[in-house]
């Protein structure tokens, strides 16, 4: 099966930021396979400790939880965090009460690294989400090896068939999935997925990203528009654009399970206080 932009993904313009990121990511995957071949990677993950339950950690009754993000920079904001020590930041997040940690591992546009994930996993006992542009199975094995407990899958990048295969593979390795949508078309594609393994339906969390990855523009009304389409029993995470307690309160009343927040925390000097102010803790 061919991986990359799914056949039901619309063609994008040459100036499209997402297309630019994906082209670079494909180069990085090819290089990674040369340095650590897939068969060798599969062998290395056989004896790893069990993963930590990500969906369970962020799904708490009658409350909204926090997935606190670690990233040094982004295409939309440039440098976000000057004093960047992933392990120290993770310890602050844990102390402030975050339920999970998201780590940007994309190298070229976010200055991320898989090593950041390994450092954080060794330093705190929270579940770790790998946030990257995952296009093929190699990256799922790679995620498990470097310490992820869950992975982000972007509906805009993958066909239904590819999404199903990656979710099934992730589940076989003990990884949870957060499957992200930005448009109604993408969400309907994700909601139509019924992924099973050994006659068991595999649960996965739904991400609603307020940011258009093609233009990098943020529209907070995306959640308001898409959330009513989602069945009440699904775990929903809102990503991008959550800046203050008023935003979190609105999402909590709406019924969202968790928020994924990075920039609003990382830009502050006192990250613990920023989290407590943001979440109302």
Catalytic residue among 143, 162, 181, 209: 209
CB proximity list for 104: less than 8 A, separation 6 or greater = 69, 70, 71, 72, 74, 110, 112, 131, 132, 262
186 is catalytic: no
Catalytic residue among 74, 162, 210, 240: 240
Cβ(223)–Cβ(248) below 8 Å:
no
d(CA 46, CA 137): 16
28 is catalytic: no
272 is catalytic: no
Please give the structure tokens belonging to residue 253.
């009343």
Catalytic residue among 119, 165, 239, 263: 239
Please give the structure tokens belonging to residue 263.
């920039």
Catalytic residue among 25, 71, 121, 189: 71
Catalytic residue among 131, 189, 271, 272: 131
Catalytic residue among 106, 180, 186, 263: 180
239 is catalytic: yes
69 is catalytic: yes
In degrees, to the nearest 5, what angle opens at C-alpha 239 toward C-alphas 238 and 240? 130
Catalytic residue among 69, 136, 165, 186: 69
Q: Annotated catalytic sites, by residue? A: 69, 71, 131, 180, 209, 239-240
């Amino acid at each position: 099966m061919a991986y990359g932009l799914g056949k039901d993904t619309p063609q994008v313009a040459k100036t499209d930021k997402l297309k630019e990121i994906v082209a670079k990511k494909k180069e990085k995957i090819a290089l990674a396979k040369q340095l650590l071949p897939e068969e060798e990677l599969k062998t290395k993950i056989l004896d790893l400790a069990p993963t930590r339950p990500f969906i369970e950690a962020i799904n708490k009754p009658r409350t909204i939880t926090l997935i606190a993000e670690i990233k040094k920079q982004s295409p939309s904001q440039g440098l976000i965090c000057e004093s960047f020590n992933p392990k120290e930041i993770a310890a602050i997040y844990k102390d402030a009460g975050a339920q999970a940690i998201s780590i940007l591992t994309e190298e070229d546009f976010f200055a991320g690294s898989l090593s950041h994930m390994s450092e954080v996993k060794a330093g705190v006992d929270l579940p770790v989400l790998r946030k990257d542009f995952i296009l093929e199975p190699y990256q799922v094995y790679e995620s498990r090896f470097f310490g992820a407990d869950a992975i982000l899958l972007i509906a805009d990048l993958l066909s239904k068939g590819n999404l199903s295969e990656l979710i099934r593979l992730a589940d076989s390795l003990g990884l949870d999935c957060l499957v992200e949508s930005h448009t109604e078309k993408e969400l309907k594609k994700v909601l139509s997925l019924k992924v099973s393994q050994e006659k068991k339906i595999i649960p996965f969390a739904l991400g609603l990203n307020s940011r258009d990855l093609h233009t990098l523009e943020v529209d907070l009304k995306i959640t308001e528009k898409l959330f009513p389409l989602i069945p009440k029993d699904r775990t929903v995470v809102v990503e991008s654009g959550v800046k203050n307690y008023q935003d979190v309160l609105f999402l909590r009343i709406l019924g969202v399970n968790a928020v994924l927040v990075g920039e609003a925390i990382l830009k502050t000097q006192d990250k613990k206080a920023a989290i407590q102010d943001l979440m109302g803790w």
